[in-house]
């Protein structure tokens, strides 16, 4: 089997490669060629850690495996390590033999940013020029870089619950050659053509009334029961897409609109159906489209596969016998 260490991922997987891998696995999920296994997530009762597994099988792409990992809240203060830790394990679907062990931390950010950028490519108005971001944490920088490749944006505007974090996001925008402005939520909703939400909030920041017709939203932060970034009534006004319907309705942004009876599961479309051309996606200029990106194991396997292929091609993969 091959080992690809975390430290080598940055030189092996570009945002473009992550985009291609995630777009094709979303398509495979929608066509029935790929499926995710039930997610396991446990509070360990040790170091206050949350640990779990996200796995799946993509028959068309040949990816079988899982991402194991979670959240260790004291890593940074006690050990100087990042709090989110994960590793991807791949297996040969013909034999069950392990084929690869791949550092999963950077891959998680790349595959999450790829998911929202896939939604922007397929659902945002072609003339979108103002990118709005709600959130300024670790993931927001990857989100901004991936989104910037999808439309010729001429400006980035952003809001964050902790405003002191925004200047760093501004530096990422500047590095991309994009003017950046910290704005109120009212201005963000009134001016942005595309809005990415990437926070760990448990109550909505962006309200229905903030959002103007024609906007595309990629709601990426809500990946757990109870989390929420946008007002539930917005999902009733929008055409809702997701990576996986079962996650969207139970732990994604749609969980609240479903629980309040504002929408039904039938109103939510897998983004892969748009990629495959079996759903029209955006059909009018004034339509609000909303992608509920919950994060699935198959995304991790897809980008890990890309990392292994690049590592073998470049002679970076460490080969071991097991």
Q: Give the alpha-carbon dihedral of 224, 163, 19, 155, to 10 degrees.
A: 140
Minimum CB separation of residue 260 from ligand NAD in Å reads: 20
With CB under 6 A as the contact rule, the residue among 117, 205, 269, 289 that binds ligand NAD is 205
Least distance between ligand NAD and beta carbon 227 (Å): 6
d(CA 137, CA 206): 17
Set 54, 67, 155, 227: catalytic member: 67
Interface with ligand NAD (CB under 6 A), residue from 20, 75, 200, 287: 200
CB 95 to ligand NAD: min, Å: 30
Nearer to ligand NAD, 99 or 299 (CB): 299
Query: Has 227 been annotated as catalytic?
Result: no
Residue 295 has what DSSP assignment? -
Report the residue number, 22 or 263, with the smaller CB distance to ligand NAD.
22
| List of residues 6+ apart from 224 with CB closer than 8 A | 251
Q: Of 315, 311, 322, which is closest to residue 4 (Cα–Cα)? A: 311
Question: Scanning the structure block, which residue is given the tokens 């080598």?
Answer: 8
Give the binding range for ligand NAD (CB under 6 A) out of 37-45, 188-196, 200-208, 256-264.
Answer: 200-208
Q: Judge whether 70 and 51 are in contact, CB under 8 Å.
A: yes
Cβ proximity to ligand NAD: between 99 and 242 the closer is: 242
Beta bridge partners of 194: 131, 216
The C-alpha atoms of residue 208 and residue 198 are separated, in whole angstroms, by 17
Angle subtended at Cα 271 by Cα 244 and Cα 292, rounded to the nearest 5 degrees = 60
Contact set for ligand NAD, span 159-188 (CB under 6 A): 160-162, 165
Residues 134-163: x where in contact with ligand NAD by CB under 6 A, - otherwise, as a string: -xxxxxx-------------------xxx-
**Contact map string, positions 274 to 303, toward ligand NAD, x by CB under 6 A:** -------------------xxx--------
Q: What is the CA radius of gyration of the chain?
A: 19
Does residue 231 bind ligand NAD (CB under 6 A)? no
Helix H or strand E encompassing 312: helix 297-313
CA 310 – CA 146 distance, rounded (Å): 20
Kindly list the catalytic residues. 67
- Judged by the rule CB under 6 A, the positions of this chain that interact with ligand NAD are 108, 112, 135-140, 160-162, 165, 198-201, 205, 220-221, 223, 293-295
């Amino acid at each position: 089997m091959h080992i690809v260490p975390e430290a080598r991922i940055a030189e092996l997987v570009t945002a473009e490669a992550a985009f291609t891998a995630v777009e094709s696995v979303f398509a495979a999920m929608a066509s029935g060629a790929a499926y995710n296994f039930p997610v396991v997530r446990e509070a360990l009762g040790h170091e206050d850690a949350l640990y779990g597994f996200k796995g799946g099988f993509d028959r068309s792409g040949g990816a079988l495996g899982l991402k194991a990992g979670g959240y260790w809240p004291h890593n940074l203060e006690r050990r100087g390590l990042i709090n989110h830790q994960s590793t991807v394990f791949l297996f040969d679907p013909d034999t069950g033999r392990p084929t690869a062990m791949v550092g999963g931390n950077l891959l998680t950010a790349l595959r999450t940013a790829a998911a929202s950028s896939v939604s922007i490519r397929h659902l945002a108005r072609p003339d979108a020029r103002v990118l709005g971001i709600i959130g300024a944490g670790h993931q927001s920088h990857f989100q901004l870089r991936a989104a910037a490749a999808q439309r010729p944006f001429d400006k980035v505007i952003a809001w964050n619950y902790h405003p002191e974090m925004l200047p760093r996001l501004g530096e990422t925008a500047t590095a991309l050659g994009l003017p950046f402005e910290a704005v109120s939520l009212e201005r963000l909703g009134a001016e942005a053509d595309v809005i990415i939400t990437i926070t760990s909030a448990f109550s909505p920041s962006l309200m229905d009334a903030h959002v103007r017709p024609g906007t595309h939203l990629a709601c990426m932060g809500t990946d757990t029961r109870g989390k929420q970034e946008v007002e539930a009534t917005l999902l009733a006004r929008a055409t809702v897409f997701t990576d996986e319907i079962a996650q969207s309705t139970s732990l994604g942004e749609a969980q609240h609109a479903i629980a309040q009876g504002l929408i039904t599961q039938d109103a939510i479309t897998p983004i892969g159906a748009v990629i495959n051309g079996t759903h029209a996606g955006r059909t009018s200029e004034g339509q609000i489209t909303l992608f509920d990106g919950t994060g699935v194991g198959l995304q991790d396997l897809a980008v890990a596969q890309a990392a292994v292929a690049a590592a073998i091609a470049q002679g970076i993969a460490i080969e071991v016998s097991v």
